[in-house]
Amino acid sequence: MQGSANLNLMIKAARKAGRSLVKDFREVENLQVSAKGPGDFVSKADREAERIIKEELRGARPSYGWLGEETGEEAGEDPTRRWIVDPLDGTTNFLHGLPHWAVSIALEHKGEVVAGVIFDAAKDELYYAEKGLGAYMNETRLRVSGRRNMIEAIFATGVPFGGKSTLPATLQDLARLMPQCAGVRRFGSAALDLAYVAAGRYDGYWERGIHAWDMAAGLILVKEAGGFIGPVREGREIFETGSVIAANAELFEPLGKILRQPA
């Protein structure tokens, strides 16, 4: 796919941050056995990845705004465009030496995500999409799965940890959904969960209580791969509610119906 200059810039930044994280990840694997553990080291790796991405993106497009998990929000001279960045999605996996984490970079224009890049550096899988141009993983065009029956479908979600208030609702979701499908996965990276829906590996994904940086790039991947996205609570904006449902066209409605049942 012949992407725009912005998409190429995003890919360059994601690869550069990914290289830095891969180096740090090897070190984290060694630190598992140390008494102190790898906690501080991982925070540093995460911040360094955001620094690399910011330097690349803001250096090339100084007028665009910024929303990054580590450095927060910064308005740009151009109020219509902003980068939405999670330098390391799947931090807990990274911390525990589990090779399932990614760099996620999105470009928003007038409130709509128009380009997204998710780089799974440990597996060398680069996912990218641009509005109207389709979604890809490395050189391969992506399509959401074609499954139509809930009972054959696999869904992914994020199970809240550390006392998050969305735990009861998520447990209720699981109790309702699990008897009606082929399985639910919790791999620990919202960005990759969405990328896997775009790639047809998962038939759908939902999560409550996440942030714009966790999902922005993944949303355009799913859309450009022919999938549907929406908030769990209908009639609200996805970023505003921090909840999302993503699935192939056939399963989006039945999945939403289960998740939207009153308590």
Binding-site residues for Mg(2+), in ranges, read: 69, 86, 88-89, 214
Residue whose CB is less far from ligand IPD, 114 or 210: 210
State the nearest-atom distance from the C-beta of 164 to Ca ion, in Å: 13
Residues 89-128 that bind ligand IPD (CB under 6 A): 89-92
State the nearest-atom distance from the C-beta of 215 to Ca ion, in Å: 9
The residue type of 113 is V
Overall size of the chain counted in residues: 263
On whether the CB atoms of residues 100 and 90 are closer than 8 A, the answer is: yes
Instruction: Give the interface with Ca ion as residue ranges (CB under 5 A).
Output: 86, 89, 214
On whether the CB atoms of residues 252 and 144 are closer than 8 A, the answer is: no
Helix, strand or coil, per DSSP, at residue 45? helix
Contact map string, positions 209 to 228, toward ligand IPD, x by CB under 6 A: -x---x--------------
From 59-67, 85-93, 106-114, 217-225, give the range in contact with ligand IPD by CB under 6 A.
Answer: 85-93
Q: Decide: is 189 part of the binding site for ligand IPD (CB under 6 A).
A: yes
Contact map string, positions 43 to 82, toward ligand IPD, x by CB under 6 A: ----------------------------------------
Helix, strand or coil, per DSSP, at residue 65? strand
Helix, strand or coil, per DSSP, at residue 67? strand
The tokens describing 209, both together, are: 């209580």
Residues 11-40 that bind ligand IPD (CB under 6 A): none
Which helix (H) or strand (E) segment holds residue 128: the answer is: strand 125-130
When CB distances are held under 5 to 8 angstroms depending on the partner's kind, the choice from Ca ion, ligand IPD, none that residue 84 binds is: none
When CB distances are held under 5 to 8 angstroms depending on the partner's kind, the choice from Ca ion, ligand IPD, none that residue 210 binds is: ligand IPD
Buried b (16+ CB within 10 A) or exposed e, 218-253: bbbbbbbbbbbbbbbeeeeebbebbbbbbbbebbbe
On whether the CB atoms of residues 123 and 16 are closer than 8 A, the answer is: no
How much is the CA Rg of the chain, to the nearest whole Å?
18
When CB distances are held under 5 to 8 angstroms depending on the partner's kind, the choice from ligand IPD, Ca ion, none that residue 188 binds is: ligand IPD
Residues at the interface with ligand IPD (CB under 6 A): 86, 89-92, 158, 188-190, 207, 210, 214
